[in-house]
Amino acid sequence: MKPNLKIIGYWSFIGGLIVAVLAGFVEVPALLLVLFILGLIVGFLNITEKESTPFLVAVIVLLLVGISGLQLGKLTAITVPILKNFIAFVAAAGLVVALKQVIVLAKPSKVKLERE
């Protein structure tokens, strides 16, 4: 039975969110690296080219919320690590999708090549 990559990406997303929240209550060494890797998996396996623009807009909003939450300074001791974990996870997924979009946009189109 061949594993479905979309399902792996989906569970990586759910797992990343759960780990980001739960790890706010305990200190885990190398946690940001684990969340970053889960974010990379989500970006590679879960987001298609058609979904890229809405996903990147959502990533921008989520990162702004996370960063502005950290900047407020009036957060509880638990909220700060959760936001940091969340930022690492979401930023990695956004990085992959943004790079995929840049590659698609930089690729010469067939129309351009036919005109030359």
* Three state DSSP letters for 46-76: CCCCCCHHHHHHHHHHHHHHHHHHHHHCCCC
**φ, ψ of residue 9 in degrees (nearest 5):** -65, -40
The model's pTM: 0.78
Distance CA 30, CA 10 (A): 22
Condensed to tens digits (0 to 9), the pLDDT of residues 78-87 reads 778 888 888 8
Q: What is the DSSP letter of 24?
A: T
For residue 45, what pLDDT band results from cuts at 50, 70 and 90? confident
What pLDDT is stored for residue 70 in this prediction?
Answer: 76
pLDDT at 99: 93
Higher pLDDT, 67 or 112: 67
CA 63 to CA 105: how far, in whole Å?
Answer: 24
Chain segment 65-107, per-residue pLDDT in tens: 888 877 776 667 777 888 888 888 999 999 999 999 998 888 8
Comparing CA positions, the residue from 76, 66, 5 lying closest to residue 35 is 66
